[in-house]
A = this chain, B = another copy of it.
Amino acid sequence: MAQNIYDDAAFFDGYGQFPRSRQGLAGAPEWPALRGMLPPLTGRRVLDLGSGFGAFCRWAVEQGAAEVVGIDLSERMIASARERGPGLPIRYERADLEAYAPAERAYDLIYSSLAVHYIADFDALCARVRDGLVPGGAFVFSMEHPIFATRADPEWVTDREGKRAFAITDYGREGERITSWVVDGVVKYHRKISTCVRALIDHDFAIDALNEWSPTEAEVAARPDLADEVVRPMLLLMAAHVAAPRTN
């Protein structure tokens, strides 16, 4: 079972202070890029894995989705998501993504924002996501970029030119990392981009897009706090769709 850090009171309070928690999608600088990877949602059935405060679920309703389901491990997150969108046609369900299996061929889009790096078995998740999608259905997700996730604790250094640099170690050693993020003892997993791509392809997905997200110069000029995102990427966005297995 995945760690339920989001029901820890201290974590929940700290996490709630982040811009993306307070402002929703507008507080997530990668959102325009991630939105650009999504198929049209009008009339579509949408599942959000790790729905958090429900920002994406509410957006999907606005886009005219026919059905919107949000899955989260945290009771507090689900309660807060419901409070933020009272009366909206969204079904929230508490479940552990390490085991949760959507109904077969039930969705046109399965979305996940910054959740899959908490999952130990990404390969098994891809199999369940594939089974939950209709043929041609899309899996669009973001995760911590492995350059960021490979270190349990991020470390900045000064290079020989006096520039701010990011130290990486153990990129080739995939697996668990215990980090301090809001609180101590947060369990996450480092896996390479190539490992994610292999898991997707092994489970009949065709890759549509990768985005090792970094801001443009204009974005950094407008928001100088994003400068570190140019030094090293923190976020990886991916889009794939269920294709027929290759026969040739």
Q: Which residues in A have some Cβ–Cβ distance to B below 8 Å?
A: 136, 147, 155, 157, 159-160, 163-173, 192-194, 197-198, 201, 206-212, 214-215, 229-233, 236, 248
Residues of B contacting A212 with CB < 8 Å? 171, 192-194
- Tell me, rounded to whole Å, the shortest Cβ–Cβ distance linking A225 to chain B: 15
* Complex interface: chain B residues within 8 A of A169 (CB): 159, 163-166, 231-232
- A215 pairs with B147, CB closer than 8 A: no
A87 to chain B, nearest CB (A): 35
A231 to chain B: closest CB distance in Å?
5
Interface SS, A side = mixed
Cα separation A233 to B167 with both chains bound (whole Å): 13
Q: Could you say which residues of chain B place their CB within 8 Å of the CB of A230?
A: 170-173
List, sorted by A's number, 11 A–B pairs whose CB atoms are closer than 8 Å: A136-B248, A165-B167, A166-B167, A167-B167, A169-B232, A172-B229, A172-B233, A173-B230, A192-B233, A198-B209, A201-B209
Question: Is B165 a contact of A168 with CB atoms below 8 Å?
Answer: yes
Most buried by B among A167, A210, A233, A248: A167
Which residues of chain B are near A233, meaning CB under 8 Å? 171-172, 192
User: Copies per complex?
Assistant: 2
- Of B170, B193, B248, which one neighbours A210 at CB under 8 angstroms? B193
Q: Given the complex, which residues of B lie within 8 Å of A173, measured CB to CB?
A: 230
Tell whether, in the assembled complex, residue B172 and residue A231 are in contact, meaning their CB atoms are under 8 Å apart. Answer: yes
Asked if residues B163 and A166 are in contact (CB atoms below 8 Å), the reply is no
In the complex, the answer to whether B159 meets A167 with C-beta atoms within 8 Å is: yes
Contacts of A155 in B (CB 8 A): 159-160, 165
In the bound assembly, the distance between CA atoms of A233 and B195 in angstroms comes to 13
Chain B nearest CB from A209 CB (Å) reads: 7
Given A201-B208, A210-B193: A215 touches B157 (CB 8 Å cut-off): no
In the complex, the 7 A-B pairs of residues with the closest C-beta atoms, listed nearest first: A172-B214, A172-B230, A165-B167, A194-B210, A207-B207, A194-B212, A165-B169
